A and B are shown apart, each in its own frame.
Chain A
Amino acid sequence: MMKNLGFWIVILIFGFWILNFNCYAQSISSTELINNAKVYDGKVVAYEGEVIGDIMVRGEYAWINVNDGQNAIGIWMDKNLAKDISYAGSYKSKGDWLEITGIFQRACLQHGGDLDIHAQAIRKVRPGRQIIERLNISKRNLVFVLLGVLCLVWILKQLKLR
């Protein structure tokens, strides 16, 4: 019994030590990171969001921007990590939803004071996809109706001027 209790105490202490080891296992929102940047500065955080825009390869590294629906944050990563990204969000595509684990920097020394995350690992939570655009019929119809009105006004204007 005592041996078992000792084992659990060791596990508990180890757990607390892990938690205090500058690490936030649960995903933190961008708003939380921006509003409490000093608290999270230099700590390992987990951040989730959609890859948006361009994947910008810079030598052996790459920049991606990840938007969690509130703000987008720049992620600096090894370019090999970026290879797993299939879709970046734009008008025509929904970007991959990633979970990034990395060191949060309030004013990154390496990147001119930017607020960013230096990724250590990424995990694809949901793959992105192409967005198939369907013609909006009511908008199309409105275009034709207004075209008719425009032609009518144009004819009336020409008549008046003559």
Chain B
Amino acid sequence: MILKPRLEDIKIIGYYLGKIILGLGLTMLIPIIIGLAFGEINPVLDFLISIEITLIFGLILIKLCFTEKELNWMQGMIVVSLSWLAAMLLGAIPLYLSGHWKSYLDACFDAMSGFATTGLALVQDLDHLSYTHNLWRHLIMFIGGQGIVIVALSFFVRGASGAFRMYVGEARDEKILPNVIHTARFIWLVSIVYLILGTLSLGIVAILNGMKPISAFFHGACVFMAAFDTGGFAPQSQNILYYHSLPFEIITIIIMILGAINFKLHYHIWMGNRREIFKNIETKTLFITILITFCITAFGLAQIGSYPKAILLFRKGFYQLVSGHTGTGYMTIYARQFINEWNHLALVGVICAMALGGAACSTTGAIKMLRIGIIFKALKEDIKRIILPERAVVVQKFHHIKEIFVEDKQVRSALLITLAYLVLYGLGAIIGMLFGYPFINSLFESTSAAANVGLSCGITEVNMPAALKFTYIFQMWAGRLEFMSVFTLIGFFIAAIKGRR
């Protein structure tokens, strides 16, 4: 029997949602400061309007739903899934007001793409977008990459148990430090330190490449935020191709890989335990899968002679592949070149890389390395059981910060999430095909959206059907939250309609 949610449930959800919306509103102060610094009057007005609307919504929710009760698991999950939808709707307001998005739906698409660190974009005339709006596009990636709830956890939420429930709902089931709020703050510390280092290195390279200092450091900061949070937005329409620079590409590869690493691993590296990189199941799996998928891609590219020299094949193939595998979506080729100049085998290599993703508790989406590693270990265990005598005791271990025995519960959970992702990739591909796009194109774009990557083969453009835009928004949202919060929200609505009092 399904029970109808009580008014108390709705009040608790509304109260915490209001707090998160307030947190989101305050982040809009950053583009306002930048806008004032650059003397961009109308963009500042866009953000003043947006911050006011956001704060009004947040305050109304807090006022109407005021409670001192803590969240339970169900409420925590629902707060998270609704927070992401609220962030999309409110974060899209300044984008839409800029006039660079054809419709509010397009602005919502880009806002969700930003928060979910995907990188698919429908922005028009990006090359004339203000610094203020451009910073916001990248800032939402930075906020989304850390987790919208992490922002609120770090500054607004006091109760530790409620905080942990929201933290888990945002697809982060690993605590780095015993206290979840300290964990959230550590994630911010790591990100801010890397932000300073990344911005400096990219900015200096950009200056050496001939860019003006202000522009160079602005680009450096934006590209860092999108690369480290495995997002994929760039300040110019050509994406990374704009810079025509090998050093810039190399630095972005390093940042993308750093973003794809588990924050827990970052913590251990920071604490001096550098050997963990070589022992950890996630880094080992990431290395192996990059190698395998790159071999597939490179073989495909070599088959049709897309690039006249091996070094060019490596530079183009490896960049798009690492970008896809880490879930970033930075491109040094044009979207249509994937279809026109890459064969199906090369595309399959990239699709597989996108589908696998980076590490758990990182800023990436997709299936993730820990699950792939666990599934592989379980498979190895089963094969051993078949080969070895029946009396033999077969156990499998993996190293993830410490030695862990493979248990059925972990394998089941890993397989379920993997299955959910595969269904999501397939569903988007089928919907794409229903609109007349070829199979490989549809699968590529669908995987890119659901795995929060952002590589595009050209389907994502302003004139694509609205239903497909909704599909990709749903995929980006569900993929980023790893389903549980989304399923809980769906269950909550079903209970509200069909449940008994």
Contacts and interface: CB of A to CB of B under 8 A. Distances in A.
B56 A153 contact: yes
A115 B333 contact: yes
A84 interface: no
B209 interface: yes
Given A54-B210, A90-B128, A72 B238 contact: yes
Interface stretch (B60-68, B285-293, B358-366): B60-68
Given A54-B210, A65-B236, A72-B237, A139 B315 contact: no
- SS class of chain B's interface: helix, strand, loop or mixed? helix
Nearest to B237: A72
Given A65-B236, A72-B238, A114-B244, A157 B130 contact: no
Contact of B59 (A135, A142, A154): A154
Contact of B312 (A74, A109, A153): A109
Interface residues of B, number: 53
Nearest to A58: B210
B52 A149 contact: yes
Given A89-B127, A113-B312, A153-B63, A139 B236 contact: no
Interface string B225-238: 00000000000111
A121 interface: no
Interface residues of A, number: 49
Contacts of B333: 115
A115 B244 CA distance: 10
B210 A153 contact: no
Contact of A56 (B42, B210, B309, B336): B210
Interface stretch (B43-51, B160-168, B172-180, B381-389): B43-51
Contacts of B43: 91
27 contacts: A37-B341, A53-B215, A53-B236, A56-B209, A56-B243, A56-B244, A57-B210, A72-B237, A72-B242, A74-B242, A90-B127, A91-B43, A107-B307, A107-B312, A109-B312, A113-B312, A114-B244, A133-B40, A135-B41, A139-B42, A139-B97, A143-B48, A146-B49, A149-B52, A149-B56, A153-B60, A161-B66
